[in-house]
Amino acid sequence: MKDFPVTDLAISLQEAVEFVWAEADMLDACDYDAWLALWGDGGHYVIPIEKTGDDFANMLNIAYDDAAMRKMRVERLQGGFSISAAPPAQTVRTLSRFVAEAVDDTTITLRCAEHVVEDKFGRQRIFAVNLTYTLVRSETGIAIRDKVARLLNSNGVLTSISYLF
């Protein structure tokens, strides 16, 4: 077990886990406006194709969304204009294996595992995902700075996805 400093603004593992659980609940409910509100300034929502590496700006990604792209992605999902979002899939997420990678005065890097079960047109698909979050605390609370969703089989997702991981 790693020893991390604790300050008044430090994000505990328990707080980070509860935050990520709340995010998963929002995504399963398709509450994308609430999901957008979880994000702080800057940062990216990334679904890389490569299994390793973190230079996402120079890698092939399924998604590499800054704030403007996250907003546009949500608008497409909510508007039903995207073929992949009509009708939207129903999802159930299970999160486990929470590991605090790094903690400082206001930031925690958290890794966890996620299983997403998607139901669409009466068919189900299951995705296994390794998630890495960088969460920051500000005066207004905890926010996501970065979220990286590494799918176990990223090649199998090159078909339509009508939700967020």
- Which pLDDT value is given to residue 7? 56
pLDDT band at 87 (very low <50, low <70, confident <90, very high): confident
Q: How far apart are CA 63 and CA 61, in angstroms?
A: 5
Q: Mean pLDDT, to the nearest integer, of 83-94? A: 80
Q: pLDDT tens for residues 14-45?
A: 999 999 999 999 999 999 999 999 999 889 99
User: Does the pLDDT value for residue 9 go beyond 90?
Assistant: no
- Which pLDDT value is given to residue 1? 41
pTM of the model: 0.89
Which two three-digit tokens encode residue 126? 């299951």
User: Does the pLDDT value for residue 6 go beyond 70?
Assistant: no
Instruction: Tell whether omega for the bond before 87 is within 30 degrees of 0, i.e. cis.
Output: yes
- Domains of the chain with CATH codes: 13-157 (3.10.450.50)
Residues 56, 68 contacting (CB under 8 angstroms): no
DSSP per position, 106-150 = SEEEEEEEEEEEEEETTEEEEEEEEEEEEEEEETTEEEEEEEEEE
pLDDT band at 71 (very low <50, low <70, confident <90, very high): very high
User: Does the pLDDT value for residue 84 go beyond 50?
Assistant: yes
Which two three-digit tokens encode residue 148? 């990286």
Of 156 and 161, the one with more pLDDT: 161
DSSP per position, the chain = -------TTPPPHHHHHHHHHHHHHHHHTT-HHHHHHTB-SS--EEEESSSS---GGGS-EEEEE-HHHHHHHHHHHHHT-SGGGSSPPEEEEEEEEEEEEEE-SSEEEEEEEEEEEEEETTEEEEEEEEEEEEEEEETTEEEEEEEEEEETTGGGG-S---S--
